Amino acid sequence: MLSIRHLKTYFRTPRGIARAVDGVSLQMGPGEIMGVVGESGCGKSVMALSVLGLLASPPALFAGGEIRFKGRDLLTLAPEELRRLRGDQISMIFQEPMSALNPVFTVGNQLSEVFRVHRGLDRSAARQGAVEMLAKVGVPAPERRVGEYPYQLSGGMRQRVMIAMALACRPALLLADEPTTALDVSIQAQILELMLGLKEELGTAILLITHDLGVVAEITRRVAVMYTGKIMEEAATEELFDHPLHPYTRGLMASIPRADASFETDALNEIRGVVPSAVDLPPGCHFEPRCPEAVAACRTHPPELEELRPGHRVACWRANRG
Amino acid sequence: MGRYLLKRLWHTVYVVVGISMISFFFIHLSGDPVMLMLPPDATMAEVETLREQLGFNDPIYVQYWRFASRAVQGDLGSSLYFRVPAVNLILERLPASLELAGAAMLIALAISIPLGIISAVKRGSLWDLSSMLGALFGLSMPHFWLGIMLILLFSVTLGWLPTSGRGSLAQLVMPSLALGLSLMAMFARLTRSVMLEVLSQDYVRTARAKGLKERLVIGKHALKNALIPLVTVAGMQFGFLIGGTVIIETVFAWPGVGRLVVQAIFSRDYPLVQATVLVLAVLFVLVNLLTDLIYLYLDPQISYLEEK
């Protein structure tokens, strides 16, 4: 259903070309739920925004690749066609439910817009649809909430409204960019559960973008690990957690605080060094400067993704050898 | 809402009393009007008699009290120069001032807001650069010079519009244009910068992600947010415009309040100056109140209701 191939999304910056997404390939089937993990700035959000065509160009420039959705290449689609897909076939929810809703319009107004633009409903039918969607995402007293403004809702409620908006037209694909990051931990679980439930009900495929491996482990079936605009490793979720092959993936996993660790004896693991700038990437493997296992070849030759175990692809010279 | 209005109107009273005091005392510092009212060869005795007659020999607080107690009854004193009640003079001129200010504001807003929006949306384009350059010109051009240039072009050379006076729509065109141009320039720049800020907000991205047409994204989601600062500035400017258009009124012989008050100042016509300042202050406060009421519509987070 969604097939991203060798996507290259660059940005023109005063300091040079920033390679935000650099040759990413991903496949997603209908109803599938896939995770993309990586540190902030690794290009995962830019990839999602590229799919929706929401990046202003310039400064964004699409240097290559294709994004096929149900057979159509979104990168070459006419802007008007792409607009019709947005919010209808493909939707997106964002990290900050505080700022993602317009402060000066009611929840109902913003929600019913989706029905009006994609379904051509009139004002009252769209409002009815809005109330139904609010009920579906578990907003209590939807008839009253529909007339309220975003500032009157809690963060969790706002994210529910965002989800209602995104799923109003039963899209085939939902891009969820850090949907729970800004929320309290107790609310996070509720929101993830809600998304999973709606996925089952509506058959929506979800591309879940997060830096939180815990969230990934909980709800995704497949995961891609991104670093500096490239996919470093990709596998079924269980396979990845059981056999992480890339040193970066292992580093990420080791840096999750463990509940059974002792505060005195076990230091929190971290990946040493910092993410290199997207305008000035190392010539070889991008992770080489921070990699504890790097060898000479890593410095000069960028590794390609290779399938080392069934359904498990990794881009690492060291993993290749053993 | 009704309560809020009442409360705000009550606050207006404080403001107006304050302004009347300040202006009253300052005007009295400016010199003796009696000398101007009498012929140069008047004797000291005659001067003294007139002073006594007009009450200028009383302590200033007595004079203020006299003024204030008459003012609350609607009597703002009589013009020393025109020898008619000041209120009549002002009310005669006020419609002209409001008309000019309103027309200038209308022209300015109607042109500048679309201009600023397009500039923001097409940031860095030739359109953006040229309209912002044009706005800079508009801001730097002195009113009187622009007025004279308009007269030269439209009245003298082309003969399309009358040079001065008030009465017909044709006579309103040039003064309001001359007055509105700098406002237009200011609003265009303001609209552009506010829009640029708003367009980078997350909710604009959300609106696009919903598949809304760009027209709706900009004309609805972005614009309503951008209007909040615009209304603030427009309200203030409108307040200034009502009394502050002396130069344009002079160039186009427009019978407004601005010219009246300048004339009154030169002839030390205290009662008239005092009355005009007071009326303009009240209008200014009312315009501000109106601005606040518009906020109420624009920004749901502003609530003027009493705290629960």
Q: Which of B122, B170, B178, B190 is nearest to B149 (CA)?
A: B178
pLDDT digits (tens, 9 = 90+) for B1-37: 677 788 888 888 888 889 888 888 888 787 777 777 7
- Secondary structure (3-state) at B211: coil
pLDDT digits (tens, 9 = 90+) for B215-255: 999 999 999 999 999 998 999 899 888 877 888 888 888 89
Q: Does B201 touch chain A if contact means CB atoms closer than 8 Å?
A: yes
pTM for the whole structure: 0.83
Q: Does B307 touch chain A if contact means CB atoms closer than 8 Å?
A: no
Task: Quote the longest CA-to-CA distance of chain A.
Answer: 67
Q: Let me know: does A231 contact A21? Beta carbons within 8 Å.
A: no
Q: Do A94 and B201 touch (CB under 8 A)?
A: no
Using CA coordinates, name the residue in chain B closest to A48.
B209
Could you give the strand order of the β-sheet that contains A312-314, starting from the edge strand earlier in sequence?
A90-93, A173-177, A205-210, A33-37, A222-227, A230-236, A312-314, A306-309
pLDDT digits (tens, 9 = 90+) for B103-156: 999 999 999 999 999 999 998 899 999 999 999 988 888 888 898 999 999 989
- Cα A101-A105-A108 angle, rounded to 5 deg: 85
Q: Let me know: does A52 contact A237? Beta carbons within 8 Å.
A: no
Q: Does A113 touch chain B if contact means CB atoms closer than 8 Å?
A: yes
To test the contact with chain B by mutation, choose from A102, A117, A170 the residue with the greatest count of B C-beta atoms within 10 A, namely A102
Q: Which of A240, A227, A247, A232 is nearest to A293 (CA)?
A: A247
What pLDDT, on a 0 to 100 scale, did the predictor assign at position B170?
87
What pLDDT, on a 0 to 100 scale, did the predictor assign at position B168?
85
Q: Do A117 and B298 touch (CB under 8 A)?
A: no
Give, for B150, the enclosing helix (H) or strand (E): helix B143-150
What pLDDT, on a 0 to 100 scale, did the predictor assign at position A268?
66
User: Amino acid identity of B62?
Assistant: V
- Secondary structure (3-state) at A163: helix
Residues of A in contact with B209 (CB under 8 A): 52, 54, 86-87, 91-92, 94, 166
In a structure prediction context, what are the per-residue pLDDT tens digits for chain A, which is 322 residues long?
Answer: 899 989 999 988 888 888 888 889 999 999 899 999 988 878 888 999 999 988 887 788 888 889 999 989 988 889 899 999 999 999 999 888 889 999 999 999 999 999 999 999 999 999 999 999 999 888 999 999 999 999 999 888 998 999 999 999 989 999 999 888 887 888 888 888 888 888 888 889 999 999 888 888 888 999 999 998 899 999 999 999 988 888 889 888 887 776 776 666 666 677 777 888 888 888 888 888 888 888 888 888 888 888 888 889 888 888 755 4
pLDDT band, very low/low/confident/very high, at B209 (cuts 50, 70, 90): very high
**C-alpha–C-alpha distance, residues A134 and A164, integer Å:** 6
Q: Does B212 touch chain A if contact means CB atoms closer than 8 Å?
A: yes
What pLDDT, on a 0 to 100 scale, did the predictor assign at position B305?
58
* Among A87, A105, A118, beta carbon nearest to B209: A87
CA–CA min distance B7, chain A (Å): 26
Q: Do A96 and B213 touch (CB under 8 A)?
A: no
Q: Do A149 and B301 touch (CB under 8 A)?
A: yes
Phi, psi of A241 (to 5 degrees): -70, -30
Residues of A in contact with B210 (CB under 8 A): 86-87, 91, 113-114, 117, 165
Q: Which residues pair with A37 in a beta bridge?
A: A210, A225
Residues of A in contact with B202 (CB under 8 A): 94, 96, 99-100
Beta strands in chain B (DSSP E): none
**C-alpha–C-alpha distance, residues A173 and A209, integer Å:** 13
**C-alpha–C-alpha distance, residues B297 and A251, integer Å:** 53
**C-alpha R_g of chain A:** 21
Residues of B in contact with A166 (CB under 8 A): 209
Q: Does B297 touch chain A if contact means CB atoms closer than 8 Å?
A: no
**C-alpha–C-alpha distance, residues A47 and A53, integer Å:** 10
Mean pLDDT computed over every residue of chain A: 88
**C-alpha–C-alpha distance, residues A254 and A125, integer Å:** 52
- Secondary structure (3-state) at B110: helix
Residues of A in contact with B201 (CB under 8 A): 99
What pLDDT, on a 0 to 100 scale, did the predictor assign at position A13?
87
Q: Is the pLDDT of residue B307 over 50?
A: no
Q: Let me know: does B54 contact B34? Beta carbons within 8 Å.
A: yes
How do A33-37 and A222-227 pair as beta strands? Answer: parallel
What pLDDT, on a 0 to 100 scale, did the predictor assign at position A322?
47
